[in-house]
Homo-oligomer: A and B are copies of this chain.
Amino acid sequence: MIIDAHAHYTTAPAKLQSFRARQIVSQARPGPANLNISDEELEQSMRGQFKRMDDTGIDRLLFSPQASAMGHHFGSELISRHWSEACNDLIARIAKLWPGRVSPVCQLPQSAGVSPGSWVEELDRCVREQGFIACNINPDVGGGREPLTPSLADEWWYPLWEKMVELDIPGTIHASASLHPAMHLTSSYYIGQHHNAAVELLSSRVFQDFPGLKLVIPHGGGAVPYQWNRHRGMHVREGLEPFEEAARRVYWDMAIYDTEGMEMLIKRVGSDRVLFATEMFGAVNAIDPKTGRNFEEVVPLFEAVPGLSDEDRYNITEGNAKRLYGLP
């Protein structure tokens, strides 16, 4: 069994983006969405994902709204809430239509300059009323501009960690749109933000204060495994716990499209801390001229990782996700 811990709804019907566009027009008097999307439209929008799953042997998606479209920098707290509700409600419907294939992961109604305490009501609604099993957390709410977001190490975030522990809900750190003109969104901003999230969290006292908190760093941790000794050295220099121990306080997803990268990640954080992940359809939805396969076809890349035991492979594709998300 293969569980894909990182897939986004990047193929939603245009009606969803039409509502988003209307949010620009009606920014001064925002209202909730009324999307009027049929089950048939949802089915059409999911055909690509299900075909990829069938073709490559993926059994279940942890499925969340499109990350770049979360756009928490835009508009007021209420605009962000209406948008998040619309996106999450679609994910909930898809998970109810295909319970055997899709597990729902929500976005949060984050809004720049607004305390995390204001985001937890939507998380509660998603989990208790709609059966969501995890959430995505944008570590850079304003997209790199003012008001700048405090470090994930900061107590500013604690109301969110408290709620996640109360609900026993894991979260994946995932940035959204960037307002920086000099950064490529998926090739650079995401990599830098998710690397940074690992650095901040693993050098913090967050896991002392919230021993039950479950967080996932996506995209193989940015540069963390490759720059491993830089992080080890920083932890020595700053008197922190050994970095190789700190690194095991979180999970790391394997959406890196690269056999050697996967090998390095698994070797460094341990096979019991890695989650199989494709991020389909995401940053590199294109055919690799070297293999003739889509870059996001992660299964054969993972199969080629040398030196893994059956237990390692079980952990990464199934066991870790079942344990982390409480899946049957």
- Known contacts A148-B181, A149-B182, A223-B222; is A231 also within 8 Å of B196 by CB? no
Asked if A150 CB lies within 8 Å of chain B CBs, one says: yes
A260, closest chain B residue (CB)? B264
Q: Are A188 and B195 in contact (CB under 8 A)?
A: yes
- One of A102-110, A269-277, A282-290 contacting the partner: A282-290
Partner of A284, one of B150, B229, B295: B229
The reply on A225 being an interface residue by CB < 8 A is yes
Is residue A75 within 8 Å, beta carbon to beta carbon, of the partner chain? no
* In the complex, A215 has a CB within 8 A of chain B: no
Interface 9-mer from A47-55, A90-98, A232-240, A306-314: A232-240
As for how many copies of this chain the complex holds, the number is 2
Residues from chain B with Cβ under 8 Å of A261 in the complex: 226-229
- Contact between B188 and A199, CB atoms less than 8 A apart: yes
Residues from 126 to 152 in A contacting B, C-beta threshold 8 Å: 139-140, 144-146, 148-152
Q: Does A176 contact B (CB under 8 A)?
A: no
Q: Mark A177-196, 1 if CB is under 8 A from B, else 0.
A: 00011111011110111011
Given the complex of chains A and B, what is the CA–CA distance between A231 and B258 in angstroms? 11
Give, as a whole number of angstroms, the nearest-CB distance from A143 to chain B: 12
Interface residue A6 (Cβ < 8 Å from any Cβ of B)? no
Would B283 and A256 count as touching, CB distance under 8 A? no
Is A200 in the interface zone, CB < 8 Å from B?
A: yes
Least CB distance from A83 to B in Å reads: 24
In the complex, which residue of chain B has the Cβ closest to the Cβ of A196? B188
Given A184-B234, A195-B191, A223-B222, answer yes or no on A229-B200 (Cβ-Cβ < 8 Å).
no
Interface size, chain A (Cβ < 8 Å): 62
Q: Is the interface of A mostly helix, strand, loop or mixed?
A: loop
Say which residue of B200, B229, B295 sits within 8 Å of A182 (CB atoms).
B200
A140 to B150, CA, bound (A): 20
Contact across chains for A258 and B234 when beta carbons are under 8 A apart = no
Q: Which residues of B lie under 8 Å from residue A151 when comparing CB positions?
A: 181-183
User: What B residues does A203 contact at CB under 8 A?
Assistant: 184
Pairwise interchain contact A187-B264, C-beta atoms closer than 8 A: no
Q: Are A226 and B226 in contact (CB under 8 A)?
A: yes
Beyond A191-B192, A229-B288, 7 extra complex contacts between A and B, CB < 8 Å: A154-B182, A229-B261, A229-B301, A233-B284, A233-B286, A233-B296, A260-B267
Question: Which residues of A line the B interface, CB within 8 A?
Answer: 139-140, 144-146, 148-152, 154, 180-184, 186-189, 191-193, 195-196, 199-200, 203, 219-220, 222-223, 225-234, 236-237, 242, 256-258, 260-261, 264, 267, 283-289, 295-296, 301
